[in-house]
Chains A and B, each alone.
Chain A
Amino acid sequence: MAAAAQGLVRMPVWRARFVLAALVAGFLLIAGRSLYLQAVKTDFLQEKGEARYARVLEVPATRGRILDRNGEALAVSTPVKSIWAIPSDVSLGSTQRKKVASLLVMDAGEIDRRLSDGSRDFVYLKRQVSPETAEAVAALGIKGVHEQQEYRRYYPAGEVTAHIVGFTGVDDAGQEGVELSHQALLGGRAGSRRVIKDRLGQIVEDVESIRAAQAGADLTLSIDARLQSLVFGALKAAVEAHRAKAAAAVLVDVRTGEVLALANVPSYNPNNRTRLSGAQLRNRAVTDMFEPGSTLKPFTVAAALESGKVQPGTLIPTAGGRMTIGRYTIHDSHPAAAMTVAQVIQKSSNVGAAKIALGLPREAMWDFFRRVGFGAAPPVGFPGAASGRLRPSRTWQPIEQATMAYGHGIAVSLLQLAHAYTVFATDGELVPLTLVKATTFASGEKIVSTETARAVRAMLELAVQNGGTAPRARIMGWRVAGKTGTAHKQENGAYAANKYLSSFVGFAPASAPRLLFAVMVDEPSAGQYYGGSVAAPVFAQVMQGALRTVGEPYDAPLEPIQLPGEGDDDAREST
């Protein structure tokens, strides 16, 4: 017992206390650490943890399609791949290099050149290859060569719609035409989001949307692909037949102000834009100014009718087709002692138009030209629309007022001219033009009285009858009205003797106009150059097809057109 009691050594109390304190301290340490991690460092740790399985994904925005008024595609983006490389990572064997070169249809030396630039860590080997090619390149399994998804824009109608639709650059941003003017709408905005992926790479949870992607919206144009193709074909044929330098045309629906077709020759293929010349790229109908010549006479007459100074039947002395102002003499190709105002339009008399203009105050004439839209870019939403040239009236000399009456000394674009003619195609309203499909009828600004508009329309109808300047503009089944123009081209400040610009602006059916067509042919050089023999037949061809396409009822007896023979004396004009 005693031995046992002796064996029970009583431990000093401090040892137990020490162990207890150590244990408590240990627990406190752990609690403190966990508190620190949970409360203070929690954001950092969660972020680190998430980074193990969370990924930020780019959400690409596809570019909207461009459609014609019937929903036919004019521009569509489809995905393609771009092949890029990190030069310092790539070591190509010669067989591999050959393979890559043949797959990408590139020169092997070109590949070497691109890869030799060690200072960059990103070079494109080739952009926009087909998904199949990209797959084949990826199958080679070359280290440092990667692919990237991109979009490429295709234009199925090619050169026919090239100038309206325009094109995008390699970065999918609009560079010309509607692609440029409606970039904001079509472009959309790429976004990004953070997601959680599982070990199979599948997305299992959406953490947050960093930036919402916005897909580009589709754009429906006012263009009718059928009419566009008709107009383009007619222009191309005219340029060939008359060995002209260029041609342009605009077809407008008068009731809505929609541009149904707008074509230029020469054109280009927007799908393959290597070796493009400026002449091909130019959208002449919209961006080029020219002296319109006689196509401007109806505006002079309309201004005079509005002022009340003349009536359609008023006799204008045309002095045998010659008129001298200062040092200048104005000629007529159809001299007469006197003509009525209507005949001035019908026979396209320069002297008559000049006399009518000189009876007007120059401010009134300027104001009228201004109100039909000359000298200001038409608000059609198109890049580079020309505003034309209309000098302030206080600088006009009498000779200038006289020449302006028949379209010289003033410059307009074809689009402006077409726009201005809507005044005569409607009952005096200037209809705003649009390239985007309209849902309602347009309401224009009233420029001239209904009587004036109808009177001028009647004169324009006379101009296409036998005895007028453009009998070749007539078509079977519909009454048409219009005016020819043949202008000497200016070169280095002087008028070139044998370079002409033939034009025709007209509309049909004349009883209730629906379609308005303006066409100009630049430098026809196959002998004929009068607007009545170069531009008017294009008008007839297009108008006939277009009226049939839109299903316009006939307003004229269905009899074959009796044209005066080639040698016959139909009126011509010299401006």
Chain B
Amino acid sequence: MAKLNLLLLAVLVACAIGLVTSQHRSRKLFSEIEREQNRSRELDVDYGRLQLEASTWGLHQRVQKIAAGSLGLRPADPRRVRIVQPAASR
């Protein structure tokens, strides 16, 4: 009887320690996922900012000014443009 009790006590202690460790691990993992989620939010904000920047740099008036001004580009004479039809509409 005493032996069985001792055995059960050992099992109980093992279970208790297991519970504590698993709780600890779950908290650790959770804080990790939380960190990653924060990072994803931050990256999203960065993406928005970069998109904003890209749009600002790529503003059409700006591109046009640079193309026409410093690069000396101009629209091609339509007579020298050949439009290729997509194969489907032959």
The residues of A with any CB-CB pair to B shorter than 8 Å are 62, 65, 72-74, 76-79, 154, 156-157, 160, 198, 202-206, 225-226, 229-230, 233, 476-477, 545, 548, 551, 553-554, 558
Of residues 33 through 47 on chain B, the ones whose CB sits less than 8 Å from some CB of chain A are 34, 44-45
Q: Which 3 A-B pairs have the closest CB atoms?
A: A156-B55, A229-B60, A204-B27
B88 CB, nearest partner CB in chain A, Å: 13
The answer to whether A157 and B52 touch across the interface, beta carbons within 8 angstroms, is no
Query: Contacts A72-B55, A203-B34; is A233 near B61 (CB within 8 Å)?
Result: yes
Measured between beta carbons, the chain B residues less than 8 angstroms from A558 are 78-79
Measured between beta carbons, the chain B residues less than 8 angstroms from A198 are 27
Query: Contacts A76-B52, A78-B52, A225-B60; is A205 near B27 (CB within 8 Å)?
Result: yes
Q: State the CA gap A477–B81 with chains docked (Å).
A: 10
A216 CB, nearest partner CB in chain B, Å: 12
Contact with A along B22-65 (1 / 0, CB 8 A): 00001100110010000000001100110110111011110010
The answer to whether A78 and B48 touch across the interface, beta carbons within 8 angstroms, is yes
Query: Contacts A205-B30, A206-B30; is A553 near B85 (CB within 8 Å)?
Result: yes
The answer to whether A78 and B49 touch across the interface, beta carbons within 8 angstroms, is yes
Q: State the CA gap A330–B56 with chains docked (Å).
A: 53
Tell whether B20 is near chain A: CB-to-CB under 8 Å: no
The answer to whether A226 and B31 touch across the interface, beta carbons within 8 angstroms, is no
Tell whether B83 is near chain A: CB-to-CB under 8 Å: yes
Contact pick for B54, options A73, A78, A203, A477, CB 8 Å: A73
Q: State the CA gap A74–B51 with chains docked (Å).
A: 10
Measured between beta carbons, the chain A residues less than 8 angstroms from B69 are none
Measured between beta carbons, the chain A residues less than 8 angstroms from B72 are none
Interface centre among B44, B55, B58, B85, by most chain A C-beta atoms within 10 angstroms, is: B55
Q: 17 new A-B pairs (CB below 8 Å) besides A77-B48, A78-B45?
A: A65-B48, A73-B55, A74-B55, A76-B49, A156-B56, A156-B59, A157-B59, A160-B60, A198-B27, A202-B31, A204-B27, A226-B60, A229-B64, A233-B64, A476-B79, A554-B83, A558-B78
Q: State the CA gap A98–B67 with chains docked (Å).
A: 47
Q: Which residue of B lies closest to A476 (CB)?
A: B78
Q: State the CA gap A558–B79 with chains docked (Å).
A: 6
The answer to whether B83 and A553 touch across the interface, beta carbons within 8 angstroms, is yes
Q: State the CA gap A202–B37 with chains docked (Å).
A: 13
Measured between beta carbons, the chain A residues less than 8 angstroms from B44 are 62
The answer to whether A203 and B49 touch across the interface, beta carbons within 8 angstroms, is no
The answer to whether A65 and B51 touch across the interface, beta carbons within 8 angstroms, is yes
Q: State the CA gap A202–B31 with chains docked (Å).
A: 7
A27 CB, nearest partner CB in chain B, Å: 24
Q: State the CA gap A72–B60 with chains docked (Å).
A: 11
Interface SS, A side = mixed
Measured between beta carbons, the chain A residues less than 8 angstroms from B59 are 156-157, 229
Q: Which residue of A lies closest to B49 (CB)?
A: A78
Measured between beta carbons, the chain B residues less than 8 angstroms from A156 are 52, 55-56, 59
The answer to whether B61 and A203 touch across the interface, beta carbons within 8 angstroms, is no
Q: State the CA gap A553–B83 with chains docked (Å).
A: 6
Q: State the CA gap A548–B76 with chains docked (Å).
A: 10
A155 CB, nearest partner CB in chain B, Å: 9
Q: State the CA gap A225–B78 with chains docked (Å).
A: 23
13 CB-based A-B contacts, threshold 8 Å: A62-B44, A65-B48, A73-B54, A73-B55, A76-B49, A78-B52, A156-B56, A160-B60, A202-B34, A205-B30, A226-B60, A229-B64, A553-B83
The answer to whether B58 and A477 touch across the interface, beta carbons within 8 angstroms, is no
Interface centre among B52, B58, B83, by most chain A C-beta atoms within 10 angstroms, is: B52
Q: State the CA gap A65–B51 with chains docked (Å).
A: 10
A523 CB, nearest partner CB in chain B, Å: 26
The answer to whether A76 and B85 touch across the interface, beta carbons within 8 angstroms, is no
Q: Which residue of B lies closest to A545 (CB)?
A: B75
The answer to whether A229 and B85 touch across the interface, beta carbons within 8 angstroms, is no
A76 CB, nearest partner CB in chain B, Å: 5
Measured between beta carbons, the chain A residues less than 8 angstroms from B45 are 78-79
Measured between beta carbons, the chain A residues less than 8 angstroms from B31 are 202-204
Q: State the CA gap A172–B27 with chains docked (Å).
A: 35
Q: State the CA gap A558–B31 with chains docked (Å).
A: 68
B28 CB, nearest partner CB in chain A, Å: 8
The answer to whether A73 and B52 touch across the interface, beta carbons within 8 angstroms, is yes
Measured between beta carbons, the chain B residues less than 8 angstroms from A203 are 30-31, 34
Contact pick for B61, options A78, A229, A553, A554, CB 8 Å: A229
Q: State the CA gap A548–B77 with chains docked (Å).
A: 11
Measured between beta carbons, the chain B residues less than 8 angstroms from A476 are 78-79
B86 CB, nearest partner CB in chain A, Å: 10
Q: Which residue of B lies closest to A195 (CB)?
A: B34
Measured between beta carbons, the chain A residues less than 8 angstroms from B55 are 72-74, 76, 156-157
Q: Which residue of B lies closest to A68 (CB)?
A: B55
Measured between beta carbons, the chain A residues less than 8 angstroms from B85 are 553
Measured between beta carbons, the chain A residues less than 8 angstroms from B78 are 476-477, 548, 554, 558
The answer to whether B30 and A76 touch across the interface, beta carbons within 8 angstroms, is no
Q: State the CA gap A554–B82 with chains docked (Å).
A: 9
A37 CB, nearest partner CB in chain B, Å: 23
Q: Which residue of B lies closest to A560 (CB)?
A: B79
A52 CB, nearest partner CB in chain B, Å: 16
Q: State the CA gap A205–B75 with chains docked (Å).
A: 61
Q: Which residue of B lies closest to A552 (CB)?
A: B83
B78 CB, nearest partner CB in chain A, Å: 4
Measured between beta carbons, the chain B residues less than 8 angstroms from A225 are 60
Measured between beta carbons, the chain B residues less than 8 angstroms from A77 are 48
Measured between beta carbons, the chain A residues less than 8 angstroms from B83 are 551, 553-554
Q: State the CA gap A198–B23 with chains docked (Å).
A: 13
Q: Which residue of B lies closest to A558 (CB)?
A: B79
Q: State the CA gap A203–B38 with chains docked (Å).
A: 11
